[in-house]
Structure 1
Amino acid sequence: MRSPWQEIEPAGDTVCIEGERILPIGNERLVVAINKPPGYITAMSDDRNRPTVGDLIREHFQTPLFHVGRLDRDTEGLLIMTNDGQLAHEIAHPSSSVCKTYLARIAGALHAQEINLLRRGILLRDGFRTGPAEVRILEQTHDTSLVEIIIKEGHKRQVREMFSSLGKQVLSLTRTAIGGITIDLVPGPGDIRILTKEETRLLRRKKGTC
């Protein structure tokens, strides 16, 4: 936009000022980070009255928000919610290569051959083949292993299914980062924070630059 008096059609026109997309008044872009506790459904409501992320945000925001990707009921950690569909697509779609980082506590040891399979990409039981993952063992005992795994896709229950394909049971799973945003911004279960413009830009960081 070059003139402050230029007429626009709100329903169809995109307005940018110095490269920043501007939404109409009353529809300001809102990007929210949530630390989803385990036991919560990634949905705004549930017909079985189970707790949802909608329960966490409803009292704080009047603007309708939707979740960017999902965390299954038992998985905890970083979840992004927004009213910006374009941003959601950029973060969630595999072609965008935005990394998602998880900490998985698994039963037993994870061996070098199994790590290499994850790093090359692995065929899941439903026929989906994952892309190469970054895998690092942070802690290993006789009984369990703590594994950091970074993926760029968002297939249903992907991390759990990746380990399941290796015969490994996931005991706990936490998403700790999306792009350049980490769970440190919302350290406690149920914590909520509105992201700044700069933090929102960090969400777009690509795999390999996290």
Structure 2
Amino acid sequence: MDRLDKILVSQNVGSRKEVQKLIKDGAVCVNGECIKQPQHKVDAVADDITVGGQPLLYSKYVYIMMNKPAGVLSASNDKRAETVIDLLPEEFQRPGLFPAGRLDKDTEGLLIITNDGEFAHNMLSPKKHVEKKYIAQLDGEITEEMISDFENGIVFADGTRCMPAKLEISGENPDKTTAIVTICEGKFHQVKKMFAVCGKNVVHLKRISIGDLYLDSNLHIGETKMLSELDKMSIFMGNMH
């Protein structure tokens, strides 16, 4: 059993404020009865919920976009540090949520939070070739040799070889120190370590896209929003081949 407003928000009906207005305006019915209390408890699976006369097709899985701030752990819980789950608004909270793929503590940008393990596995598996795109600010200039090294697959000191990656100079930065990096795997600290092999340090790192899903420009750092089914599908549309 859960609050009616929380369930509607989790199903992408609207923001908490919008959903509460719908309920108070009498647009929401549970088992044929008009409910005007947002806190009314319902069983999302067993109860028949309608919004504006249309049945709510409840999905047990949720997909949340976060513009992750620096200084926050990509983890479900931690006793010593704030996690991305701690940042979620109350109406998005539910058991089993986890970040699908971690961003380093000091890295910002697009993070997907979900309770769907199969979705996360498919998004992160190198075999699926889902692109992850980052903007990296470096402490030195990007060279043609670096671009070629990324394309051939950077080799770490321990002999681990990265899959081919794309390195571009950002057109917004004429001094060649801002890079756009596209990878389709997610090794630990991968982007920073790739640049370190090339003798460059990453000063600031931000993920801007996963597949064809881009970070919402209206989402301020630390903010979240529910993803639609179309958003979710777009993650797998921009695969590298």
Query: What TM-score does the superposition give when structure 1 sets the normalisation length?
Result: 0.81
Offset of 1:108 from its aligned partner?
1.1
The equivalent position to 2:147 in structure 1, one of 92, 111, 115, is 115
Structure-to-structure mapping, 1:52-201, within 5 angstroms: 52-57=83-88, 59-64=90-95, 65-138=97-170, 139-141=173-175, 145-184=177-216, 187-201=219-233
What's the CA shift string for 1:26-74, capped at 9, x where partnerless? 86110111010000011122222x2210111162324221111100111
- SS of the equivalent of 2:216 reads helix
What does residue 31 of structure 1 align with? 63
What does residue 51 of structure 2 align with? none
What does residue 45 of structure 1 align with? 77
What does residue 7 of structure 1 align with? none
Query: What TM-score does the superposition give when structure 2 sets the normalisation length?
Result: 0.71
Offset of 1:102 from its aligned partner?
0.2
Greater relative CO, 1 or 2 (CA 8 Å, sep 6+): 1
CA distance in structure 2 between the partners assigned to 1:193 and 1:58 by the alignment: 10
Distance 1:113 1:127, change over 3 A: same
Distance 1:42 1:176, change over 3 A: same
CA distance in structure 1 between the partners assigned to 2:218 and 2:123 by the alignment: 19
| Equivalent pair of 1:103/1:149 in contact (CA under 8 Å) | yes
- SS of the equivalent of 1:89 reads helix
CA distance in structure 1 between the partners assigned to 2:191 and 2:86 by the alignment: 26
CA distance in structure 2 between the partners assigned to 1:157 and 1:186 by the alignment: 27
Amino acid at match of 2:73: I
CA distance in structure 1 between the partners assigned to 2:91 and 2:187 by the alignment: 29
| Equivalent pair of 1:99/1:151 in contact (CA under 8 Å) | yes
What does residue 38 of structure 2 align with? none
CA distance in structure 2 between the partners assigned to 1:51 and 1:70 by the alignment: 14
Structure 1 runs not aligned, ≥5 long: 1-23
Offset of 1:159 from its aligned partner?
0.4
What's the CA shift string for 1:150-171, capped at 9, x where partnerless? 0000111100110011110100
CA distance in structure 2 between the partners assigned to 1:140 and 1:120 by the alignment: 25
| Equivalent pair of 1:109/1:140 in contact (CA under 8 Å) | no
Amino acid at match of 1:102: Y
Offset of 1:185 from its aligned partner?
5.5
CA distance in structure 1 between the partners assigned to 2:59 and 2:76 by the alignment: 19
Q: Say which one has the larger Rg.
A: 2
Matched length: 183
Identity of aligned residues (%): 36
| Equivalent pair of 2:139/2:177 in contact (CA under 8 Å) | yes
Structure 2 runs not aligned, ≥5 long: 1-43, 46-57
CA distance in structure 2 between the partners assigned to 1:91 and 1:186 by the alignment: 24
CA distance in structure 2 between the partners assigned to 1:45 and 1:58 by the alignment: 15
Superposition RMSD in Å? 1.9
